[in-house]
Amino acid sequence: MQSSPTQAPSATGELIASFRHGKGFLIFSLIFGVALLGLAVFVLYLGTILPAGSNGPVTQTARGMSFSFSSPQTVIYFTSALLTVLALGVFAGYAWHKKLRAPRYNVYEHGIERFIHDQRDYTAFADIEDLYLFGSGQTVMTGMITNVAYRRNASEPFHRVIESLKGFFEFQQLVRELHIRARMPAVIATLEMGGAVTFNCISSGQVWGKRMSGNFLKITTSPILVSRAFLEYQGRKVPMSSLRTVDLNAWTEKVVIKDESDKAVLSTIATGILSHDLFLNTLDAVFAAQEHTRELA
């Protein structure tokens, strides 16, 4: 995203809340890495003060496994090298998490302000076509949402917000609600003019695949077209008049749209539909308009 000039208050609306990442984990990681490295050096030092005559093979047994070394000095080198590798792993994790936790955010009435050091980016909610919600880490298989990613459109990279953000769940709720409020008027206007609104969808297979691979932001999407007359997905166009229910199952995480014969027209993991809150609200608006038309008939 390109850097934006400072927005006038009338453009951003009132500041609602500010969010930033805590530094406790980073400080702990840095101290732990330094401690491991220091311990590796100390172990090497111990190797220099071994008593004379400390030679010959050494065998260590742990949990039924035996390790043989040619000499105590080899044990020293092996232990020091292992501690060094662990320290480097901790430092690599520190660098990665420092990058992920660098941004801070201001949530305004009309958009999100993102700071990385002194660089400022502002994205209006009305411009966000893809709001992507997903889980990662230890809760990835539970379906719990621990990440929010957003972009204006598919030509831009996602901006990812992770759970370590202080007040993450408040941030998530604010962004979802304000995104609907900003986008819904344009959606309704498009539908009333006979146009179609496009939503991007990730297949359920992809969602599960991302949960296993962890490469969450590299996605391939298929469009879902919604108009007052039809819903179109993967080449299948279904009249809106034939649709009857939208089921949300908390156990399977799926959204299922059924027709009048109770046959599933669309069945996919809810968070696989980008901007899925807006998608569901759009369907509600179309169904409400149809119901109103039937009542007047």
pLDDT in tens, the chain (297 residues): 333 444 555 688 999 999 999 888 899 999 999 999 999 999 888 877 766 455 655 555 655 555 555 567 777 888 899 999 999 999 999 998 898 889 999 999 999 999 998 899 999 999 999 999 998 877 767 778 999 999 999 999 999 999 999 999 999 999 999 999 999 999 999 999 999 999 999 988 888 888 777 788 889 999 999 999 999 988 888 888 888 777 766 555 788 888 788 888 888 888 899 999 999 999 999 988 887 777 776
- Residue 193 CA neighbour count, 13 Å, CB half: 9
Both 83 and 145 in one domain: the answer is no
Nearest to 163 by CA among 180, 178, 142: 142
Give the end of a domain, one of 50, 67, 100. 100
Q: What is the DSSP string of 127-143?
A: G--EEEEE--GGGGGGT
Containing structural domain, residue 29: 24-100
Q: What is the pLDDT of residue 57?
A: 56
Q: What is the pLDDT of residue 63?
A: 58
Q: What is the pLDDT of residue 250?
A: 54
Q: What is the pLDDT of residue 16?
A: 96
**Spatial distance between the Cα atoms of 188 and 196, rounded to a whole number of angstroms:** 10
Both 143 and 73 in one domain: the answer is no
Both 135 and 273 in one domain: the answer is yes
**Spatial distance between the Cα atoms of 164 and 101, rounded to a whole number of angstroms:** 8
Q: Are 277 and 180 in contact (CB under 8 A)?
A: yes
CA–centroid distance for 159 within its chain: 9
Q: Is residue 113 part of a domain?
A: no
- Residue 46 CA neighbour count, 13 Å, CB half: 15
Both 190 and 248 in one domain: the answer is yes
Both 74 and 135 in one domain: the answer is no
Q: What is the pLDDT of residue 71?
A: 65
Q: Is residue 234 part of a domain?
A: yes
Helix (H) and strand (E) counts for the chain? 6, 16
Q: Is residue 197 part of a domain?
A: yes
CA distances from 67 to 61, 62, 72, 83, 292 (A): 6, 8, 12, 17, 78
**Spatial distance between the Cα atoms of 77 and 43, rounded to a whole number of angstroms:** 8
**Spatial distance between the Cα atoms of 205 and 203, rounded to a whole number of angstroms:** 5
Both 226 and 280 in one domain: the answer is yes
CATH code: domain of residue 268: 2.30.29.30
Single-letter amino acid code for the residue at 230: F
Provide the residue count of the chain. Answer: 297
Both 75 and 210 in one domain: the answer is no
Pairing of strands 147-151, 130-134: antiparallel
Both 89 and 130 in one domain: the answer is no
Single-letter amino acid code for the residue at 60: Q
DSSP state of 263: -
pLDDT digits (tens, 9 = 90+) for 178-214: 999 999 999 999 999 999 999 999 988 888 888 777 7
pLDDT digits (tens, 9 = 90+) for 122-158: 999 999 999 999 988 777 677 789 999 999 999 999 9
Q: Is residue 6 part of a domain?
A: no
Q: What is the pLDDT of residue 207?
A: 82
